[in-house]
Amino acid sequence: MENKRLYSPKQVREVLDRHGFTFSKGLGQNFLIDGNIVRGIVRGAGITKDDYVLEIGPGMGTLTEELALNAKKVVAIELDNRLKPILEETLYPYDNVEVVYGDVLKLPLREIIDEKLGGGPVKVVANLPYYVTTPIIGRLLEEELPFKSISVMVQKEVADRMVARPDTKDYGSLTLFVSFYTKPEIILKVPKTVFMPQPKIDSSVIRLTIKDELPDTNRESFFKLVRAAFSKRRKTLINALSTYGLEADKDELRAALVRAGIDETVRGEDLALEDYVRLARELPKL
């Protein structure tokens, strides 16, 4: 397949200038201009010729092109209609790519997967705009769509929080949210110099491998507990929980802790996922 590769800074500039394209800061447009990183993302995401891939935010198609070369089929969702003539040009050589224009937070993803991606399982790959990282990952996980993994470029600090261990400053509700649904791993560290325009912060690519089975507990109670536990990081767990306004008084909470085998003096950040899972099981009606 003829392939002029999009990722040299000169090539990116040439295509964008020819189309009179200007970057939108509001849409978090920082495009990749480094072939090693583009290839590293696709390799780290474990993409093979058998894979159906959903890309979010293709930009001018740099990562999309590498995905097209390595996957069976790629559907890319892009919010910015101004990129349409550019993507039509850059992705022209690839007949296994389809671009859908719209907001990934609003589009009917299940329908798109059923109609265009063989009904799943699907691997998600994305270089996301920083301002919508958390809502997008939140939607992808909560809806329990047929995903195998989600590999995304995020702000370095966000990736560090996702993989944090208990009893560290980064450990918190984001860690527990992500590890409820997935096994998170940082697959690439990305310096700010590989983007055009250059952002102020460094990034990491994180791969979230979806668990075959979700933890066996009451999900609503689990997330309520986690929110309550981290609402007052410096308090003991029992005090943080009892002042948060949960539908259980201090005695009920204390009894549930005992039944879950959790010491009353611990703080929320000392407890691992399994501890919250057990505790939520003891407090199903929160």
Asked if 150 interacts with ligand SAM (CB under 6 A), we say: no
Using CB under 6 A, pick the residue from 63, 164, 246, 256 that binds ligand SAM: 63
Strand partners, 184: 208
Q: How far apart are CA 119 and CA 146, in angstroms?
A: 8
Asked if 58 interacts with ligand SAM (CB under 6 A), we say: yes
**Residue 173 is encoded by which pair of tokens?**
């509700």
Cβ(101)–Cβ(78) below 8 Å: yes
Asked if 188 interacts with ligand SAM (CB under 6 A), we say: no
Asked if 77 interacts with ligand SAM (CB under 6 A), we say: yes
Q: How far apart are CA 239 and CA 245, in angstroms?
A: 11
Judged by beta carbon, residue 80 or residue 275, the one nearer ligand SAM is 80
Cβ(198)–Cβ(192) below 8 Å: yes
Residue 183 Cα to chain centre, angstroms: 12
Q: How far apart are CA 286 and CA 282, in angstroms?
A: 10
Q: How far apart are CA 160 and CA 155, in angstroms?
A: 9
Asked if 240 interacts with ligand SAM (CB under 6 A), we say: no
Residues 104-123 vs ligand SAM: string with x where CB under 6 A?
xx------------------
Residue 52 Cα to chain centre, angstroms: 17
Judged by beta carbon, residue 4 or residue 234, the one nearer ligand SAM is 4
Phi and psi dihedrals of 100, rounded to 5?
Answer: -110, 130
Judged by beta carbon, residue 28 or residue 268, the one nearer ligand SAM is 28
Cβ(141)–Cβ(65) below 8 Å: no
Nearest to 148 by CA among 105, 102, 180, 181: 181
Nearest residue to ligand SAM, by Cβ distance, number only: 57
Q: How far apart are CA 65 and CA 196, in angstroms?
A: 17
Asked if 154 interacts with ligand SAM (CB under 6 A), we say: no
Query: For residues 156-185, which are near ligand SAM according to CB under 6 A?
Result: none
Q: How far apart are CA 88 and CA 99, in angstroms?
A: 9
Judged by beta carbon, residue 132 or residue 248, the one nearer ligand SAM is 132
**Residue 72 is encoded by which pair of tokens?**
């069976």
Of the ranges 52-60, 217-225, 232-240, 254-262, which one interacts with ligand SAM (CB under 6 A)?
52-60
Asked if 42 interacts with ligand SAM (CB under 6 A), we say: no
Judged by beta carbon, residue 156 or residue 224, the one nearer ligand SAM is 156
Asked if 79 interacts with ligand SAM (CB under 6 A), we say: yes
Of the ranges 56-64, 109-117, 139-147, 219-227, which one interacts with ligand SAM (CB under 6 A)?
56-64
Asked if 137 interacts with ligand SAM (CB under 6 A), we say: no
Asked if 275 interacts with ligand SAM (CB under 6 A), we say: no
Report, in Å, the least distance between residue 106 CB and ligand SAM.
Answer: 8
Asked if 152 interacts with ligand SAM (CB under 6 A), we say: no
Q: How far apart are CA 80 and CA 69, in angstroms?
A: 24
Using CB under 6 A, pick the residue from 14, 17, 88, 103 that binds ligand SAM: 103
User: How many residues lie near ligand SAM (CB under 6 A)?
Assistant: 22
**Residue 30 is encoded by which pair of tokens?**
């920082």
- Interface positions with ligand SAM (CB under 6 A): 27-32, 56-59, 62-63, 77-80, 103-105, 127, 129, 132
